[in-house]
Amino acid sequence: MTKFIIFTDLHMVPEGLTIIGLDPYRRLANGIAHVNRHHADAHRVIFAGDLTHGADRPSYERLKAILGELVPPAAMMIGNHDRREVFLQVFSGAATDENGFVQQAIDFADCRAVLLDTLFAPPYDYPVSHAGHLCQKRLAWLDRQLAEAGARPVLIFMHHPPHVTGFTSIDMIRLINGQEFYALVKRHGNVRHIFAGHVHRTISGSSRGIPFSIFKSPVHQQPMPFDTPDASLSVDEPAAYGIILVTDDGVLVHTEDYEIARRDAALA
């Protein structure tokens, strides 16, 4: 049974800065310590994009330093708050494909994990750069990974959801070629689950018959009203990461609100 831990939307900032009064470094450090205590056996911890808030080198270096404390192996992805070239300067050993996109396929005993690069930039102009996009080169790469997987179940990890989520402002900056993505995925028929971030909310469901899960951030969350007009609005709610278990007959998905989680249960 393969176990994944997923953190998304870390929004790391330089030392001394905060986001709506919250310290992304402290919250992520607490999450890493929690994973080390309770999930040191994870096969991979996936960091699913928006690694930093401003895509600056000091934030990436700060993130790299704290990830050195993580016990399980890590896999890195990028999102709309990242800059591919700055990320790769700091994380020079990060996996990339033949075209330099930050994406990879990892095979485990019971599944293939495909990690996609959905960054739609440069240019870094709002709102275009905050939407996701898979160009023809990335789609061709995904096509090959799915073909090579054969009958092995595939889990796709991507920063931008390829479908609507119900949040008006966020849906304007989802993966803009989601129909093309789903047409490719459905043609292969081996994708068992799609995982995403970007929304800063815990969401689950299915689209085109394929289950999906979206996870909260370890820092700030999306306000719950669906018709919030501004995608940059944030609220202070508990930090979280996801736990994914591949079983003999499917995929289990849990969310751990690790800063308020209790393990000293008592009988009522």
Whether residue 119 has pLDDT greater than 90: yes
Whether residue 231 has pLDDT greater than 80: no
Average pLDDT over the chain reads: 95
Whether residue 8 has pLDDT greater than 80: yes
| Residues in contact with 144: Cβ distance below 8 Å, sequence separation at least 6, in sequence order | none
CA trace torsion 25, 26, 28, 32 (10° rounding)? 120
Kind of pairing between the strands at 74-77 and 104-107: unpaired
Is the backbone of residue 9 left (phi > 0), alpha (psi -120 to 50) or beta?
left
Identify the band that residue 6 occupies on the pLDDT scale cut at 50, 70 and 90. very high
Which residues of 9-86 form beta strands (DSSP E)? 44-48, 74-77
CA distance 3 to 11: 24
User: How many Cα neighbours within 13 Å face the side chain of 190?
Assistant: 19
pLDDT tens for each residue of 152-177? 999 999 999 999 999 998 899 999 99
Domains of the chain from N-terminus onward:
3-256 (3.60.21.10)
CA distance 161 to 175: 6
Q: Full-prediction pTM beyond 0.85?
A: yes
Residue that wins the pLDDT comparison between 27 and 267 = 27
Amino acid 60 reads Y
Residue 175: DSSP 8-state: B
Of all residues in the chain, what percent carry a pLDDT higher than 70?
Answer: 100
Q: Report the chain's C-alpha Rg in angstroms.
A: 17
Whether residue 219 has pLDDT greater than 90: yes
Q: Supply φ then ψ for residue 82, to 5 degrees.
A: -105, 160
